[in-house]
Amino acid sequence: MVHPHEALFSERAANIKQSAVRDVFEISMQPGLVSLAGGNPYLQSLPLERLGAVAADIITNHGLQALQYGGGQGTLELRRQICEVMAAEGITDADPDNVVITAGSQSAQDIAAKVFCNPGDVILIEDPTYVGALNAFEAYQVDVQPVRVDEDGLVPAELLRRIEELRAAGKTVKMLYTIPNFSNPSGVTLAADRRPEIVRICREANILVLEDNPYGLLKFDGELQLPLRAGNPDDVLYLGSFSKIFAPGLRIGWALVPAHLKQRFYLASEAVTLCPPPFNQMLVSAYLRDFDWMAQVRTYRALYQDRCDAMLSALAEHMPAGVSWTTPAGGFFIWLTLPASVDTYPLLHQGIDAGVVFVPGAAFTSAPGPSNTLRLAFSSATPENIREGVRRLAPVLRAAVGR
Ligand code: PMP
């Protein structure tokens, strides 16, 4: 029987759903399974003992500050350090005054939708895109509309076409949400020559770019990609995070907000959390100040590259004809595409029976209906387990493809 309290839910709450990815994470905890589902960072290489000593020092010697309420925008020390982290990726004009520290970049996505979108307003997304952003946006009754991507990311002409088409249909398009580097879930990177064009199209259409860049520093080799925000302080609301380069459990991310938008964004953040956690901010500050955090980033790059290579070579060895996949330049994920007739959702259970877990592609799109895609994560399993997982997956996909 439906409880009468069901009638009390807001219309908004009807859009709040359990993410398919969460279901899969729970399944993937079962012993004996190789999980290529969750994109957890590999934390075993962190200097835990030294960090423990720093944490104890913070409580012992700065406890009254660490355990007290703090400023709603975050500590000035950490906001300054965040500007240095962003400078490592080419954002050299960031002002700590325009940085708002948030509970992971996840909460910044929620705040962005809350501050800018009325029900029915459009946020343009890459298709596929990050499931957490879809959930955050849909909770504000945003009309999430896909823009086609190819192997070089968002297609500028397609972006323009979608803006014109949606406006002709009477829609209000507010934002473009983009993950330009090694996207979750696709692993695709937006080509350098498309970046200024994307920003220009959005500027001319008065659409805010919401750039989500948690993986940018984890490029395997070569020069880092210049963020869309670099050189465009007024057009781009930039999101960063310590989750992939340090520790997701601390829940410390940030937004670099155009100066003219900062006040509203910051007040909305304060209304949700009062302040980001002072103790966690102090731990991140100490990590950036007293540890060689860039050396740790380099360790991660080599580690993830090794795992990505293991996955790519196993795919090349075992996958049947008709299955294709992306070749990421960094990050955590590879995206597989099967023939259009295959629905990957039922394959999840066949995969589990074969001892391997992945995430069906339908989780990462706003489009209803079946999807012929799936996501594999190479961040948390060892290279041996990755090879074993792909070996187990191959017969399941071969049977589905019919070869
Ligand atoms: N954006 C993307 C693209 C992500 O993949 C994730 C985490 N998986 C997040 C944002 C959320 O990160 P955070 O831990 O900073 O909330």
Instruction: Supply the CATH number for residue 342's domain.
Output: 3.90.1150.10
Q: Is residue 392 part of a domain?
A: yes
104 lines ligand 1 (CB under 6 A): yes
Q: What is the pLDDT of residue 17?
A: 76
Q: In 10 A of CB 272, how many CB atoms?
A: 13
pTM of the model: 0.96
Q: What is the pLDDT of residue 165?
A: 98
Q: What is the DSSP string of 79-98?
A: HHHHHHHHHTTT-----GGG
Q: Is residue 96 part of a domain?
A: yes
Nearest CA to ligand 1 atom 11: 106
| Residue where the block lists tokens 């079946």 | 370
Task: Specify whether the CB–CB gap between 125 and 146 falls below 8 A.
Answer: yes
According to DSSP, residue 394 is labeled H
Domain containing residue 256: CATH number: 3.40.640.10
Nearest-angstrom CA–CA distance, 342 and 21: 20
Nearest-angstrom CA–CA distance, 30 and 32: 6
Q: Do 96 and 200 lie in a common domain?
A: yes
Structure tokens at 67: 């355990």
Q: Is residue 33 part of a domain?
A: yes
Q: What is the pLDDT of residue 19?
A: 67
Nearest-angstrom CA–CA distance, 362 and 370: 6
Q: What is the pLDDT of residue 20?
A: 65
Q: Do 222 and 316 lie in a common domain?
A: no
Identify which of 25, 184, 284 to mutate to test ligand 1's pocket (most ligand atoms within 8 A of the CB): 184
Q: Do 280 and 357 lie in a common domain?
A: no
Give SS3 for 205. Answer: coil
248 lines ligand 1 (CB under 6 A): yes
Ligand 1 atom at minimal distance to the Cα of residue 106? 16
| Residue in 228, 225, 250 with CA at minimum distance from that of residue 239 | 228
Q: Do 270 and 321 lie in a common domain?
A: no
Ligand 1 atom at minimal distance to the Cα of residue 242? 15
Q: Is residue 60 part of a domain?
A: no
Tell which of 290, 319, 338 closes a domain: 290
Q: Is residue 51 part of a domain?
A: no
Ligand 1 atom at minimal distance to the Cα of residue 107? 16
39 lines ligand 1 (CB under 6 A): yes
Nearest CA to ligand 1 atom 13: 104
Q: Do 99 and 203 lie in a common domain?
A: yes
To the nearest 10°, report the CA torsion of 294, 297, 303, 305.
Answer: -110
Q: Do 306 and 368 lie in a common domain?
A: yes
DSSP β-ladder status, 324-325 and 333-337: antiparallel
Q: Which helix (H) or strand (E) holds 102?
A: strand 99-102
| CA–centroid distance, residue 101 to ligand 1 (Å) | 14
Q: What is the pLDDT of residue 167?
A: 98
184 lines ligand 1 (CB under 6 A): yes
Q: Do 159 and 239 lie in a common domain?
A: yes
Tell which of 257, 274, 290 closes a domain: 290
Q: What is the pLDDT of residue 403?
A: 63
Q: Do 284 and 301 lie in a common domain?
A: no
Structure tokens at 80: 């300054």
| CA–centroid distance, residue 186 to ligand 1 (Å) | 14
Q: Which helix (H) or strand (E) holds 300?
A: helix 293-318
Q: Do 144 and 163 lie in a common domain?
A: yes
Q: Do 256 and 308 lie in a common domain?
A: no
**Size (the chain), residues:** 403
| CA–centroid distance, residue 147 to ligand 1 (Å) | 20
Q: Do 166 and 253 lie in a common domain?
A: yes
Q: Is residue 195 part of a domain?
A: yes
| Residue in 396, 276, 278 with CA at minimum distance from that of residue 36 | 396
| Residue in 195, 296, 188, 189 with CA at minimum distance from that of residue 242 | 296
Q: Is residue 62 part of a domain?
A: no
Positive or negative torsion for Cα 346, 347, 351, 357: negative
Q: What is the pLDDT of residue 21?
A: 65
Range of the domain at 231: 69-290
Q: What is the DSSP string of 137-202?
A: HHTTT-EEEEEEEETTEE-HHHHHHHHHHHHHTT--EEEEEE--SS-TTT-----GGGHHHHHHHH
Nearest-angstrom CA–CA distance, 231 and 48: 37
Cα Rg, the chain, nearest whole Å: 21
| Residue in 54, 20, 21, 50 with CA at minimum distance from that of residue 38 | 21
Q: In 10 A of CB 45, how many CB atoms?
A: 11
* Overall domain count for the chain: 2
105 lines ligand 1 (CB under 6 A): yes
Task: Specify whether the CB–CB gap between 146 and 308 falls below 8 A.
Answer: no
241 lines ligand 1 (CB under 6 A): yes
Q: Is residue 56 part of a domain?
A: no
| CA–centroid distance, residue 318 to ligand 1 (Å) | 31
- Tens digit of each residue's pLDDT, the chain (403 residues): 889 998 999 988 888 877 666 777 777 778 889 999 989 999 998 999 999 999 999 999 999 999 999 999 999 999 999 999 999 999 999 999 999 999 999 999 999 999 999 999 999 999 999 999 999 999 999 999 999 999 999 999 999 999 999 999 999 999 999 999 999 999 999 999 999 999 999 999 999 999 999 999 999 999 999 999 999 999 999 999 999 999 999 999 999 999 999 999 999 999 999 999 999 999 999 999 999 999 999 999 999 999 999 999 999 999 999 999 999 999 999 999 999 999 999 999 999 999 999 999 999 998 888 999 999 999 999 999 999 999 999 999 999 998 6
Backbone angles phi, psi at 289, to 5 degrees: -85, -45
Give whole-number Cα distances, 176 to 22, 144, 172, 199, 210, in Å: 25, 10, 12, 10, 6
Q: What is the pLDDT of residue 402?
A: 86
Tell which of 269, 290, 311 closes a domain: 290
Give SS3 for 294. Answer: helix
Q: Do 29 and 83 lie in a common domain?
A: no
